Structure 1
Amino acid sequence: MNSGGATPPDMSRPDRRGAFFLLFFSLMAIGAGNTMLIAAVLPPLTREIGLPDWMAGAIFGLSALCWSLTSPFWGGRSNRWGRRPVAALGLAGFGTSMLLLFAMGWLSLNRVMTGTILVFACLALSRCIFGLIGSGTNPAAQAYVADRTSQAERQSQIAFITSGFSVGTVIGPAFAAALVATLGLLSPLLLTAGIAYTMAAMIWFRLPEEREPVTDAKVIEEIPGARGLWRSGSVLPFLIFAVSLSLTTGVLTQVFVFSVMDKLNVAGKEAAQFTGPAFTVGALAVLLAQLVLIPRMKLKNKTLMWGGCLPLLAGALLMVFAADYATLILAQFCIGIGQGLARPGFSSGASLAVSPQLQGNVAGLVISANGMGFIITPFFGLFIYEYVNPHLPFIFCSGLLVCMALFARFVLKDGLGEPDEDEADLI
């Protein structure tokens, strides 16, 4: 056994292809379920049962706090237990969260459960199960890919599996709009729970796991760089950018739903008919960036990062002046292109900045950073939108995106997190 307790990764392309597609579809299930919840279920639900708008954001914020706290834990556990069981457990946790949200939502709509604080607490606790347990799937999936790719191809392969989440966000709103119109507001939650449990079983029984797990905690702790990895000079810049991007996209995503309802004067089931297609356009833009632009342009990670900030900035500014549905759609397209470029940039950059033995650890940190911005989104986004000024959240995002672009362009060192050209010979 080597220093990390891991056997050399199996680089067999046929074996990898099936495994990567299975992870792709698992992340697609999570993406679809989350987008259904954000775009078509929770905002109309909270308004129908009389909760303030900021409480809808706070539900996601509390879950994001749990996500950020536990993602590094699950990334480390995937080193010890293996990628497969952690990924399967995360999907099972996601399914349980959606099932509980369905139950709590049904009780609230039918006035079986009343009281603002009680309803909010039950919805928040149900969602927090996703943050606590569902956070295991993403770092395990990313580490699984890192185990089986060379440095030269890691950027494109990480972009591929994470695009599964984006495919889900394309499918999710379209299904959500149809389900809500025919089967009721809560029906997407029940469907998502069933799909999540199915994918958890498929991961458990079908995902090949050749990597030998490490059972001795001391072995992990003795890996050079394992302690204090988050503050190392090679990883910290990517985490700073990731946290900032999660805050920006969190505000733009959560406030967008309420902005659409207010600008177009729609609510309830009718709102889903507008927000669903808009999110579908945004998700298609993410796919365009990750599956077409990134493989063809072959840009450096830092270029993807600062370049992604530019369409995001355009989307934020469009939201300030948007007065019709067409402009709102265009804003979502710009936001999608920006996310699709920037996220693989910092994800693969952080992965390439550490040794193979630390892939689970760094994946957990990256996934944690992805959720940190959502913790304070209700305060920087929905609270300000509802009680201060509806344009201010988008102006705040615009200023932050300018700072992020300058940080990635001029502060991030050249070559940091970039693959060695000779690494392509490893396969």
Structure 2
Amino acid sequence: MTHTDDSPEGVSRPDRRGAFFLLFFSLMAIGAGNTMLIAAVLPPMTRELNLPDWMAGSIFALSAFWWSVTSPFWGKRSNRWGRRPVAALGLAGYGLSMTLLLIFGWLSLNHYITGTLLVFSCLALSRTMFGLLGSGTNPAAQAYVADRTSPAERQSEIAFITSGFSVGTVVGPAFAAALVATAGLLSPLAVTAVIAFTMSALIWFRLPEQREPVTDATQFDDETGARGLWRSGSVLPFLIFAVCLSLTTGILTQVFVFTVMDRMGVSGREAAQFTGPAFTVGALAVLLAQLVLIPRIKMRNKTLMMVGCVPLFVGAIILVFARDYASLILAQFCIGLGQGLARPGFSSGASLAVSPQLQGNVAGLVISANGMGFIITPFFGLFIYEYVNPQLPFVFCAGLLAFMVLFARFGLKDGVGEYTE
């Protein structure tokens, strides 16, 4: 069995807050880069390259597939190797992904790489590196927080650490719009790669952790009950909810970019001037939920999951009828508020449903579930938007959110994933 300084008894360690802030800024770097890519780089780039809209979503879908496959692996590895090396490796992989996107994007835009299939393959391969390696940071960071928090404070601390991603999504779109306008369409990729490599080095050298390796991984899994954890009745409902939420938010996020371009009559580089501020408003709503509302309302995780679905439902309905920019902005605010409330609910709920030894395992499963919805987003979202009906993806999301409320209400047993005195 592993000896570690990450036990709940260490929650008063003086270095805990500094470590949490370091992870906060690491997730902030990932959030900023992802939002810059979604809102200001990849959709305009694919349109300039005359690629179909659904291909932009497919690039994210391939990355999400590998993210979902590898997140549980990295969660387990963080139990055995320690949270610090896995988190650092994830950030380095993220930096590598952005570097490859920068190179292949430049080659494609300057016609050194031609042909729809070849261009798509190069961009997809670049993003795949994020799914394979970059997926290590999030489960390692969440498990690190779970290691160092008591059950009573886990919900608020997980909300704090994941809000780093949200802060990044606030900074990212506005920063990306300014970069694209002054330094070119691909400049956000270069900046993000530098930041990712820098944060990887800071995590490696500055994150406090002393964890002895587990020499017998098989014995560790048997002793802790890690095998088949995803099928357990205390964890599976949270994972089902997470998959549904990721599908919903994936559709609303990816289709939103093309909706703004089409309904505002803009394309290419001009789109960042509209999508950037909209995503900033949505990210501010996430911060409002995670840093202001959650610490004060102190809802049960189950209730938080249900309440979070309501503004998401409202946002989806607004997008069905929105024809002006103000309505699109309001929809993004509702979407951000819903995400900010729902995500900490199922993340902390799943964490509290298992023993301290399984925090890395369950964090990997939760992060994996967070990405699964994006695998099929291009088919339920962008393909339907482009070839069937532009309102239908939002109607689908509204129906799925109604199901999620009922599932959280009746599918989660009372007391599971809840802290009690």
TM-score band w.r.t. shorter chain: over 0.9
The whole-number CA distance in structure 1 between the counterparts of 2:366 and 2:204 is 24
Q: Which sections of structure 1, spanning at least 5 residues, go unmatched?
A: 422-427
- Counterpart in 1 of 2:115? 115
Percent identity, aligned pairs only, is 80
Does the 8 Å CA contact 2:98/2:127 hold for their aligned counterparts?
Answer: yes
Q: Deviations over 1:368-407 (max 9, x none)?
A: 0000000000000000000000000000000000000111
The whole-number CA distance in structure 2 between the counterparts of 1:365 and 1:37 is 25
- Counterpart in 1 of 2:314? 314
Q: How does 1:206-245 map to 2 (within 5 A)?
A: 206-245=206-245
Does the 8 Å CA contact 2:2/2:213 hold for their aligned counterparts?
Answer: no
Query: The residue matched to 1:396 in structure 2 has which SS?
Result: helix
Q: How does 1:34-73 map to 2 (within 5 A)?
A: 34-73=34-73
Equivalent residue pairs, number? 419
- Counterpart in 2 of 1:189? 189
- Counterpart in 2 of 1:424? none
Query: The residue matched to 2:381 in structure 1 has which SS?
Result: helix
The TM-score, its normalising length taken from structure 2, stands at: 0.98
Q: How does 1:78-117 map to 2 (within 5 A)?
A: 78-117=78-117
What is the CA distance between 1:8 and its match in structure 2?
5.6
Q: Deviations over 1:260-302 (max 9, x none)?
A: 0000000111100000000000000000000000000000000
Q: Deviations over 1:183-217 (max 9, x none)?
A: 00000000000000000000000000034332321
The whole-number CA distance in structure 2 between the counterparts of 1:144 and 1:215 is 20
Does the 8 Å CA contact 2:23/2:141 hold for their aligned counterparts?
Answer: yes
Q: Deviations over 1:49-79 (max 9, x none)?
A: 0100000000000000000000000000001
Does the 8 Å CA contact 1:4/1:223 hold for their aligned counterparts?
Answer: no
What is the CA distance between 1:409 and its match in structure 2?
1.6
Shift in alpha-carbon separation, 1:228–1:5, aligned structure 2, 3 A: farther
The whole-number CA distance in structure 2 between the counterparts of 1:8 and 1:108 is 47
Give the stretch that moved more between structures: 392-401 or 402-411. Answer: 402-411
What is the CA distance between 1:225 and its match in structure 2?
2.0
The whole-number CA distance in structure 1 between the counterparts of 2:288 and 2:219 is 42
- Counterpart in 2 of 1:412? 412
- Counterpart in 1 of 2:14? 14
Does the 8 Å CA contact 2:4/2:210 hold for their aligned counterparts?
Answer: no
The whole-number CA distance in structure 1 between the counterparts of 2:308 and 2:283 is 15
Does the 8 Å CA contact 2:28/2:167 hold for their aligned counterparts?
Answer: yes
Shift in alpha-carbon separation, 1:352–1:4, aligned structure 2, 3 A: farther
Does the 8 Å CA contact 1:75/1:362 hold for their aligned counterparts?
Answer: yes
Q: Deviations over 1:100-159 (max 9, x none)?
A: 001111011101100000000000000000000000000000000011001010000000
Q: Aligned partner of 2:367: which letter?
A: I
Does the 8 Å CA contact 1:6/1:213 hold for their aligned counterparts?
Answer: no
The whole-number CA distance in structure 2 between the counterparts of 1:280 and 1:303 is 27
What is the CA distance between 1:11 and its match in structure 2?
1.7
What is the CA distance between 1:5 and its match in structure 2?
4.5
Does the 8 Å CA contact 1:180/1:188 hold for their aligned counterparts?
Answer: yes
The whole-number CA distance in structure 1 between the counterparts of 2:213 and 2:276 is 41
- Counterpart in 1 of 2:159? 159
Q: Deviations over 1:316-371 (max 9, x none)?
A: 00000000000000000000000000000000000000000000000000000000
- Counterpart in 2 of 1:248? 248
- Counterpart in 2 of 1:346? 346
Does the 8 Å CA contact 1:174/1:280 hold for their aligned counterparts?
Answer: yes
What is the CA distance between 1:228 and its match in structure 2?
0.4
The TM-score, its normalising length taken from structure 1, stands at: 0.97
Does the 8 Å CA contact 2:2/2:211 hold for their aligned counterparts?
Answer: no
Q: Deviations over 1:196-246 (max 9, x none)?
A: 000000000000003433232133222332110001000000000000000
Query: The residue matched to 1:377 in structure 2 has which SS?
Result: helix
- Counterpart in 2 of 1:425? none
Q: Which sections of structure 2, spanning at least 5 residues, go unmatched?
A: none
Q: How does 1:127-138 map to 2 (within 5 A)?
A: 127-138=127-138
Q: How does 1:274-313 map to 2 (within 5 A)?
A: 274-313=274-313
Give the stretch that moved more between structures: 222-231 or 234-243. Answer: 222-231
The whole-number CA distance in structure 1 between the counterparts of 2:121 and 2:89 is 24
Q: Aligned partner of 1:415: which letter?
A: G
- Counterpart in 2 of 1:382? 382
- Counterpart in 2 of 1:330? 330
The whole-number CA distance in structure 2 between the counterparts of 1:213 and 1:381 is 43
What is the CA distance between 1:90 and its match in structure 2?
0.1
Does the 8 Å CA contact 1:6/1:357 hold for their aligned counterparts?
Answer: no
The whole-number CA distance in structure 2 between the counterparts of 1:218 and 1:61 is 32
Aligned-residue RMSD, C-alpha? 0.9
The whole-number CA distance in structure 1 between the counterparts of 2:229 and 2:53 is 37
Query: The residue matched to 2:15 in structure 1 has which SS?
Result: helix
Does the 8 Å CA contact 2:54/2:383 hold for their aligned counterparts?
Answer: yes
Does the 8 Å CA contact 2:74/2:364 hold for their aligned counterparts?
Answer: yes
The whole-number CA distance in structure 2 between the counterparts of 1:53 and 1:8 is 45
